[in-house]
């Protein structure tokens, strides 16, 4: 992982205006009140016996933790929040605002900071949509409070 590039992407997300419509941006995805970027994406696991997947998962969690340490040096300790209950509420039909409903479908938990001097939240999490699909280290910047 190129930690300097990841930090630069987080800084870019923190300084950008949010898009007016949902869709792609040059940094990732976004919409009213949020931006999200994949800081790192692994290969897929279609022909893996499970060994490479476990190693990759461990590596992505270590990369997230390394980036968390650098952001903690800047902004102080993060909140560590499970998104399991948010996912349950969303699946039960509760109207959970974007980006939190989407994020809870892909990331089990996040490390979350309030960006100093702004009303924005910054979240880091490791996503994998399915066992065969790639891992992603995601950064989210939003002005929408966590549910």
**Angstrom distance (rounded) from CA 25 to CA 39:** 14
pLDDT of residue 51: 81
pLDDT digits (tens, 9 = 90+) for 113-130: 999 989 999 999 999 777
Percentage of the chain beyond pLDDT 70 is 99
Which two three-digit tokens encode residue 22? 């949902």
SS3 state of residue 101: helix
pLDDT, the chain, mean? 93
pLDDT digits (tens, 9 = 90+) for 18-54: 999 989 888 889 999 999 999 999 998 887 777 888 8
């Amino acid at each position: 992982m190129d930690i300097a590039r990841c930090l630069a992407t987080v800084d870019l997300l923190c300084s950008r205006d949010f898009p007016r419509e949902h869709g792609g941006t040059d940094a990732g995805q976004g919409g009213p009140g949020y931006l999200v970027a994949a800081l790192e994406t692994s290969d897929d696991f279609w022909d893996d016996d499970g060994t490479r997947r476990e190693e990759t998962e461990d590596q992505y969690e270590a990369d997230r933790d390394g980036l968390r340490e650098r952001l903690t040096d800047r902004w102080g300790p993060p909140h560590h929040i499970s998104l399991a209950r948010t996912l349950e509420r969303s699946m039960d039909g509760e109207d959970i605002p974007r980006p939190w409903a989407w994020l809870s479908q892909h990331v089990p938990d996040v490390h979350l900071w309030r960006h100093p001097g702004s009303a924005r939240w910054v979240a880091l999490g490791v996503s994998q949509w399915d066992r065969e699909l790639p891992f992603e280290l995601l950064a989210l910047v939003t002005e929408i409070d966590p549910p």
